[in-house]
């Protein structure tokens, strides 16, 4: 409950601002303190956008990492996992210690902001700069209008503030006084927010408590040497308008990475309502070869940078392909098999998935555990200055699919290839039906047929994948899947044939170049042979 008697205070440790779904599916909001205290009762963080959920989760992980003192080793993590518990006493003490630094409206160091941020010319700002689901310059594409854009509650402003540092588009920002990069009152682009280039992946547990633990990668000798400079932003001196120098900017580890300030922001308003936001450029973040530091992204080699820098390998994060559901790219998500050669891998799966596979091999996680990788990324538009699309998808799978050499893993990957091959054959059928009827080679019909097939197979594959387990026989399960694919695609193909019309049955004559040594002027094209009673249609060459 907001205390309107003190409109200049809004501590996120105690005010309810994080949207969640509880185990019964009810939506409510909790404070940072409540998020951890009720983690076992909460199903998930449920932001306005999947990217908002991802950004808030990383904020919560930074607090948990600090409270759990790392954890410093896998043994420490396994103790938390076995007991399904969080270090609540340490979390409470930590949030109490830094309560002022989590105050959204603090006069000296407001959370994730610069208190005295000012522009050289105009200090009047609206909320469209902050709220990611309001297209800048295209308000007719949103259901927010009029009073809905004049003021929002501090709880909502806090959520979009965290999202802004993570996923704000690129482009020219307001030039802040004190930033030497500003020219003519403009802060020229330093790229998208800290997470905008990631192919984000996190493990979604049965409860928020499990989600937090599954993504809590120990900070210690087993992964990286801790750096004393690696602290979250609220434990450091408040930022000014200028970019931090290279010598002190970092990131030095997960804590600075999870709380990276890619923008300089100042909110205007009080506890009764936030009325505007100034957003300026902040600290640049180069993602090259950060794969050992960032645990929640897909990575791939960058051939252009390797050629330019004459260095091999160079890895960059890879956003997800928004044109494909997650299961169709399953092979790129799973940890790659060990290469038979010394050539560096072309792709790397997220560390959180690699680690879960290792924990399964070591027996710390049960072989019947159901893993739920959740993928999140953004597609940006013109010069990355606008958000075009937000991608979010989840798969439920047995944890053995993450383990290299597991027969289930091979079966699942082969199953996706079966589906692709079947849909490719369906596309050929759709194309040939159009040609037989005298139509053009426009791929529209083939695309629509493929989309329909993928939509049906999507539901079928997810159910089939979720039912794989330690006792499944790979050969039997593969045969079951192939039968389902065959029946699904055949049914759609039959519908295409039935809808093709008389012209496709008759076929057409197609002129072809004369072959040397022949006197034929024309060779007939391909057409549909009408089915005999009791037979299905067949595609063949009809020669006169």
Is residue 411 domain-shared with residue 512, that is, in the same domain?
A: yes
Beta bridge partners of 267: 277
CA angle centred on 282, ends 278 and 283, rounded to 5°: 165
Is residue 421 domain-shared with residue 393, that is, in the same domain?
A: no
Q: How many domains does the structure of the chain reveal?
A: 2
Q: Which of 358, 390, 405 is the last residue of a domain?
A: 405
Read off the DSSP letter of residue 495: H
Name the residue range of residue 508's domain: 406-544
d(CA 214, CA 295): 12
Is residue 359 domain-shared with residue 487, that is, in the same domain?
A: no
DSSP characters for 86-141? --HHHHHHHHHHTTGGGBTT-SSS-TTS-TT--BSS-----STTT-TTS-TT-GGG
Is residue 543 domain-shared with residue 415, that is, in the same domain?
A: yes
What pLDDT does 514 receive? Answer: 53
Please, are residues 372 and 330 in contact by the beta-carbon 8 Å criterion?
Answer: no
CATH value at residue 439: 1.10.132.100
**What is the block-wise mean pLDDT of the chain (544 residues), using blocks of 10 residues?**
68 98 94 98 96 98 94 93 95 97 97 94 81 60 60 96 97 94 93 96 97 91 65 95 91 95 96 95 96 95 95 95 92 78 88 95 94 96 92 96 90 96 95 81 85 95 96 96 96 90 70 48 39 44 37
d(CA 274, CA 377): 28
Would residue 147 count as lying in a domain?
A: no
Is residue 416 domain-shared with residue 509, that is, in the same domain?
A: yes
Q: Which of 368, 389, 405 is the last residue of a domain?
A: 405
SS3 for 390-407, per residue?
A: EEEEECCEEHHHHCCCCH
Would residue 257 count as lying in a domain?
A: no
Around 492, how many Cα atoms within 13 Å sit in the side-chain half-sphere?
26
Would residue 537 count as lying in a domain?
A: yes
What pLDDT does 405 receive? Answer: 83
Q: Does the global pTM surpass 0.85?
A: yes
Beta bridge partners of 397: 371
What pLDDT does 226 receive? Answer: 64
What pLDDT does 527 receive? Answer: 42
Q: Which of 383, 405, 427 is the last residue of a domain?
A: 405
d(CA 234, CA 248): 15
């Amino acid at each position: 409950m907001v205390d309107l008697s003190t409109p200049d205070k809004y501590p996120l440790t105690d005010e309810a601002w994080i949207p969640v779904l509880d185990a019964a599916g009810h939506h409510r909001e909790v404070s940072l303190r409540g998020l951890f205290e009720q983690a076992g009762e909460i199903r998930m963080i449920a932001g306005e956008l999947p990217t908002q959920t991802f950004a808030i989760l990383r904020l919560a992980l930074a607090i948990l990492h600090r409270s759990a003192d790392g954890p410093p080793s896998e043994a420490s993590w396994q103790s938390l996992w076995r007991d399904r518990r969080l270090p609540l006493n340490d979390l409470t003490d930590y949030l109490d210690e830094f309560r002022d630094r989590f105050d959204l409206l603090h006069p000296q160091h407001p959370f994730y902001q610069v208190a005295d941020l000012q522009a050289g010319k105009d200090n009047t700002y609206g909320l469209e700069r902050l709220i990611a689901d309001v297209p800048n310059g295209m308000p007719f594409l949103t259901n927010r209008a009029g009073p809905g854009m004049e003021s929002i509650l501090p709880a909502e402003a806090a959520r979009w503030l965290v999202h802004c540092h993570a996923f704000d588009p690129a482009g020219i920002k307001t030039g802040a006084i004190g930033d030497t990069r500003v020219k003519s009152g403009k802060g020229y682009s330093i790229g998208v927010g800290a997470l905008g280039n990631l192919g984000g992946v996190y493990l979604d547990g049965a409860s928020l408590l499990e989600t937090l633990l599954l993504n809590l990668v120990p900070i210690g000798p087993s992964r990286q040497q801790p750096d004393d400079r690696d602290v979250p932003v609220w434990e450091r001196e408040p930022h000014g308008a200028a970019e931090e120098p290279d010598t002190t900017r970092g990131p030095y580890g997960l804590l600075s990475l999870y709380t990276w300030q890619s923008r300089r922001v100042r909110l205007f308003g009080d506890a009764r309502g936030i009325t505007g936001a100034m957003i300026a450029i902040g600290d640049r973040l180069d993602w090259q070869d950060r794969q050992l530091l960032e645990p929640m992204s897909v990575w791939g080699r960058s051939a252009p940078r390797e050629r330019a820098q004459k260095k091999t390998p160079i890895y960059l994060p890879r956003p997800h392909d928004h044109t494909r559901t997650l299961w169709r790219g399953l092979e790129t998500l799973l940890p790659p098999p060990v290469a038979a050669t010394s050539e560096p891998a072309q792709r790397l799966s997220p560390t959180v998935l690699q680690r879960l596979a290792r924990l399964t091999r070591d027996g710390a996680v049960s072989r019947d555990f159901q893993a739920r990788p959740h993928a999140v990324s953004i597609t940006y538009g013109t010069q990355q200055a606008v958000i075009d699309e937000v991608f979010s998808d989840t798969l439920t799978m047995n944890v053995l699919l993450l383990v290299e050499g597991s027969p289930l893993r091979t079966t699942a990957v082969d199953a996706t290839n079966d589906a692709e091959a079947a849909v490719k054959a369906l596309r050929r059928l759709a194309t040939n039906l159009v040609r037989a009827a005298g139509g053009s080679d426009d791929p529209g019909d083939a695309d629509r047929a493929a989309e329909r097939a993928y939509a049906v197979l999507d539901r079928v594959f997810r159910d089939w994948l979720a039912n794989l387990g330690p006792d499944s026989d790979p050969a039997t399960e593969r045969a079951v899947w192939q039968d389902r694919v065959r029946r699904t695609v055949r049914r759609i193909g039959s519908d295409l044939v039935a809808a093709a019309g008389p012209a496709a049955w008759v076929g057409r004559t197609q002129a072809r170049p004369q072959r040397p040594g022949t006197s034929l002027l024309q060779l007939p094209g391909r057409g549909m042979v009408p089915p005999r009673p009791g037979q299905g249609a067949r595609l063949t060459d009809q020669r006169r």
